[in-house]
Amino acid sequence: MNSLINNSLEKSISYKAYRDLVSKLVEENTTSGLEKTEALTNYTKLNDRRMKRWDKTIKVSEDIRLKVSGFNKKMTWLIITESWCGDAAHVMPVLNKIAELNPNISIKIVLRDEHLELMDAFLTNGGRAIAKVIMLDDETGEVLNTFGPRPSQATQLVNDYKAKHGALTPEFKEDLQHWYNTNKGQNIIEDIVALIEQLEPVTQ
């Protein structure tokens, strides 16, 4: 596992480099991933606009700022994603905003289809769901925790809908996007801070 993770880290890129990559894909009218379809290309374009908006508008409360800035463990959040993933477009700008609050937290990003062995080591209910965050202790290389592909409230909405209807419909997926827009990243922030607080009591 360590060699798999280390190999992925060596090939990873920063959040800024990932944002630049997505913008370049949009300019070239294509998408990341092994499958290149018009639908996925259109999702990449939509997600580029989403991330640009979230990069500018995500708000973090002073209480959260204090909690995150007081975290002393050096760690890396290795994120598995693809440009076409709708959930990832909402989640990743929030993760970056949180990481920017503390120099002990760094973000590294790899594309799922280029790192399937890593993805298959961190499946969600047997599926290659993204965005997937692997929280790593920089000192020991230990996997501290994982997050994703969705925040807890969105996961509950998805699970409830699947239990009732069997599968997610295009209408539900649109409703889920509305939920993300209304929640404004706050559930993601709450979930991530809760994970951080499990790792080490923060000092304020």
**pLDDT digit of tens for each residue in the chain (204 aa)?**
889 999 999 999 999 999 999 999 999 999 999 999 999 999 999 999 999 999 999 999 999 999 999 999 999 999 999 999 999 999 999 999 999 999 999 999 999 999 999 999 999 999 999 999 999 999 999 999 999 999 999 999 999 999 999 999 999 999 999 999 999 999 999 999 999 998 865 554
CA 77 – CA 112 distance, rounded (Å):
15
The pLDDT value given to residue 48: 98
The pLDDT value given to residue 189: 98
The pLDDT value given to residue 36: 96
The amino acid at 160 = D
Global confidence as pTM: 0.94
- Between strands 105-111 and 75-81, the pairing is parallel
Average pLDDT over the chain reads 95
Say which residues have a Cβ less than 8 Å from residue 189's Cβ, sequence separation at least 6: 60, 64, 94, 98
Say which residues have a Cβ less than 8 Å from residue 105's Cβ, sequence separation at least 6: 68, 71, 75, 76, 77, 98, 99
The pLDDT value given to residue 85: 97
Residue 10 burial class via C-beta count within 10 angstroms: exposed 0-12, middle 13-18, buried 19 and up? exposed
The pLDDT value given to residue 199: 83
The pLDDT value given to residue 201: 54
CA 163 – CA 165 distance, rounded (Å):
6
Token reading at 141: 């290389």
